[in-house]
Chains A and B, each alone.
Chain A
Amino acid sequence: MLEQLLTDLTIFILAIFVGYETISKVPVILHTPLMSGTNAIHGIVLVGAMLVAGLPEGPFVTALAFLAVVLGTINVVGGFLVTDRMLQMFAGKTQGAPRS
């Protein structure tokens, strides 16, 4: 139990440092895509939602698990697509007329 907690904590603490180092290099102009991109990444909670939704359970639990999967999927799909839409505008600068 304690061993497991220590492993989890080790990963957690190291991830804080990795996160801080990677993100502090992102320039101001990309802050919105950074936010919506990381926003999509925390949609990884969908993995957790799938794990709890994969168990045959009563209607109450199933309904909640269904809701968790729906919300998690919205987060993942919406987040990545919207970020891609934004970054497309940053990348393809010279070609094409402005879109409305």
Chain B
Amino acid sequence: MTLPHLPPNIVRAAYLVASVLFILGIKRLSSPKSARQGNTLAAIGMLLALVVTLLDRSILSYGTIAAGVLLGGVIGTVAARRVAMTAMPQMVALFNGSGGGAAAIVSSLEYLALARAGLPLTPVAGVTILLGAWIGALSFTGSLVAFGKLQGLVTERAVTYPLQKPINLLLFLGILGVSVWLVMQGAPNPAVYAWFAAASLLFGILFVIPIGGGDMPVVISLLNSFTGLATAATGFSLHNYVLIISGTLVGASGTLLTYLMCKAMNRPITNVLFGAFGSAPKGAGPAAGAGAAGLAGKAVRDVSVEDAATMLAYARKVIIIPGYGLAVAQAQHGVRELADLLKARGVDVKYAIHPVAGRMPGHMNVLLAEANVPYTELYDLDQVNPEFESADVALVIGANDVVNPAARSDTSSPIYGMPILDADKAKHVIIMKRSMKPGFAGIENELFYDPNAMMLFGDAKDSVTKLVQAVKAA
């Protein structure tokens, strides 16, 4: 099969158009109304870039490409159509890993091509190829581990072992040393390169393993940025501008999101990546924090479904605080039904979304959007915090650390300084939780012992369904 070849200048002009479409697409993502159109624009840009690439004169055989696109297309379509909205974080991690893997292979094949042709390895080519391969491989295995953690295939906890940091540092320095050596050789050395590639893949695993599940919003953003940069690096080695531009756009986006997530938790990125936050279950020992000592002897107050429903039904203002527990229980549709019932009774209902609630940036917004909650009812931290004082009920559904007042007052708490939702300032707080188990940070939550707080134990979906029935009867 042969296709007509396009002149190189046409191909480059088409790449320019594609780059512009990507930028316009991202620009339209800034409003919920135009966002879908923006995504379509970017997809058109992608299609254009891919079609002209097929017609590039350097492509001589189509068999491998056709087979690969067919297989990848089927896998991608099925995965994207089947995935539940609650499983979105791990899906994004998996797609991200695919891109990283592709970038690593492309860089490696560039290297091999130089070796086969007996060409020298210039410093620029060496640096860009090795960067693309290293970051791509790291993103590939790192994303797979993140996927495993989110999917529950690997423990969500931060995995730590003795000498973890020295080993990781040694591996990192080893990769760096071999890279410098490879670049300085002046000619490709595939045997040593294979070791470099294997070490890079291993590094991705060791890098993500010690990071706990609750920090995955940061990790996924960071890995997304890595894959973008790996793509940009392959663009440098192939001298392909559309790769450089789009890879860099994604790199910038991922970096910015990573920064926003860290800021939302008031923890530096180094603490997220190397702090092994939320490692072993801290249990009842002294590690449970100074706050727990003050809680000894205090008891939590249970509330029945009927009482909770009455409080909600006769409230003037209710603020709902969703957390990861809502996603796990898939309770988003029930929550909307409850909110609709309350609104029909004249209750003012608002949703308070903490920036790091859930397992990826904006996770709660997507879930609530799936349940047809209008985005105008979702409020972020700064908008909603002044509202709690005038709220009759704060309804906490499967959230924990993001409403822990210890973040405001207890300097010894690991989450001290994290901006939280001021649920405790509402007249009543109803906390829906499965058990008294601590949240991701592994610390006690003194909010549960607050005189205004009541616990409604049980599966979130189950409890919400019962609440809906009870509110109807109220």
Enumerate chain A interface residues (CB-CB to B < 8 A): 1, 4-5, 8, 11-12, 15-16, 18-20, 22-56, 61-62, 64-91, 93-94, 96-100
Cα distance A60–B204 in the bound complex, in angstroms: 24
CB distance from B332 to the nearest CB of A (A): 8
Interface centre among B246, B260, B369, B371 (most CB of A within 10 A): B369
Cα distance A54–B260 in the bound complex, in angstroms: 41
Q: Does B360 contact A (CB under 8 A)?
A: yes
- Residue on A nearest B92 in the bound complex, by CB: A36
Q: Does B419 contact A (CB under 8 A)?
A: no
CB distance from B140 to the nearest CB of A (A): 8
Type the 1/0 row for B231-252, where 1 means its CB is closer than 8 Å to any CB of A. 1101110111111111111111
Cα distance A84–B357 in the bound complex, in angstroms: 23
Contacts of A62 in B (CB 8 A): 64
- Residue on A nearest B15 in the bound complex, by CB: A47
Q: A29-B32, A34-B362 given. 8 additional CB < 8 A pairs?
A: A32-B362, A35-B253, A38-B228, A39-B250, A53-B64, A74-B95, A82-B88, A89-B370
| A96 near B243: Cβ-Cβ < 8 Å | no
In the assembled complex, 13 residue pairs joining A and B whose CB atoms fall closer than 8 Å, in A order, are: A1-B124, A25-B27, A32-B92, A43-B46, A43-B95, A45-B102, A47-B53, A47-B243, A54-B65, A76-B50, A81-B77, A84-B36, A98-B372
Q: A19-B252, A31-B362, A34-B29 are in contact. Are A61 and B243 (CB under 8 A)?
A: no
Q: Does B363 contact A (CB under 8 A)?
A: yes
| A46 near B35: Cβ-Cβ < 8 Å | no
| B43 near A40: Cβ-Cβ < 8 Å | yes
Type the 1/0 row for B54-65, where 1 means its CB is closer than 8 Å to any CB of A. 101011111011
Q: Does B91 contact A (CB under 8 A)?
A: yes
B30 touches which one: A27, A41, A52, A53 (CB < 8 A)? A27
| B54 near A50: Cβ-Cβ < 8 Å | yes
Q: Does B347 contact A (CB under 8 A)?
A: no
Q: Which 7 A-B pairs have the closest CB atoms?
A: A73-B72, A69-B68, A19-B252, A54-B59, A31-B362, A77-B76, A78-B76
| A8 near B88: Cβ-Cβ < 8 Å | no
Cα distance A87–B80 in the bound complex, in angstroms: 13
| A70 near B238: Cβ-Cβ < 8 Å | no
- Residue on B nearest A37 in the bound complex, by CB: B39
Interface residues of A, dominant DSSP: helix
Contacts of A91 in B (CB 8 A): 32-33, 35-36
A39 touches which one: B99, B103, B122, B380 (CB < 8 A)? B99
Q: Does B49 contact A (CB under 8 A)?
A: yes
| A23 near B26: Cβ-Cβ < 8 Å | yes
Q: Does B321 contact A (CB under 8 A)?
A: no
- Residue on A nearest B334 in the bound complex, by CB: A98
| B79 near A78: Cβ-Cβ < 8 Å | yes
Contacts of B81 in A (CB 8 A): 81, 85
Cα distance A52–B232 in the bound complex, in angstroms: 16
Contacts of B99 in A (CB 8 A): 39, 42-43, 45, 71-72, 75
B80 touches which one: A20, A38, A73, A78 (CB < 8 A)? A78
| A44 near B231: Cβ-Cβ < 8 Å | yes
Q: Does B203 contact A (CB under 8 A)?
A: no
Cα distance A32–B353 in the bound complex, in angstroms: 13
CB distance from A29 to the nearest CB of B (A): 4
Interface centre among B81, B91, B95 (most CB of A within 10 A): B95
Contacts of A31 in B (CB 8 A): 257, 260, 360-362, 365
| B80 near A89: Cβ-Cβ < 8 Å | no
CB distance from A40 to the nearest CB of B (A): 7
A49 touches which one: B39, B102, B371 (CB < 8 A)? B102
CB distance from B194 to the nearest CB of A (A): 12
Q: Does B328 contact A (CB under 8 A)?
A: no
A54 touches which one: B27, B61, B249 (CB < 8 A)? B61
Contacts of B242 in A (CB 8 A): 44, 47
| B102 near A87: Cβ-Cβ < 8 Å | no
Cα distance A71–B9 in the bound complex, in angstroms: 28
Cα distance A34–B315 in the bound complex, in angstroms: 36
Type the 1/0 row for B144-160, where 1 means its CB is closer than 8 Å to any CB of A. 00000000000000000
Q: Does B22 contact A (CB under 8 A)?
A: yes
Type the 1/0 row for B87-116, where 1 means its CB is closer than 8 Å to any CB of A. 010011011101101110110111011000
Q: Does B375 contact A (CB under 8 A)?
A: yes
Q: A23-B253, A31-B362 are in contact. Are A66 and B375 (CB under 8 A)?
A: no
| A50 near B65: Cβ-Cβ < 8 Å | yes
Cα distance A78–B260 in the bound complex, in angstroms: 26
Q: Does B221 contact A (CB under 8 A)?
A: yes
Contacts of B445 in A (CB 8 A): none
Interface centre among A30, A41, A50, A82 (most CB of B within 10 A): A41
B246 touches which one: A26, A42, A90 (CB < 8 A)? A42
B26 touches which one: A4, A8, A22, A53 (CB < 8 A)? A22
Cα distance A29–B112 in the bound complex, in angstroms: 44
Q: Does B268 contact A (CB under 8 A)?
A: no
| B38 near A16: Cβ-Cβ < 8 Å | no
Cα distance A22–B54 in the bound complex, in angstroms: 30
Contacts of A68 in B (CB 8 A): 68, 101-102, 105-106, 109
Cα distance A15–B106 in the bound complex, in angstroms: 22
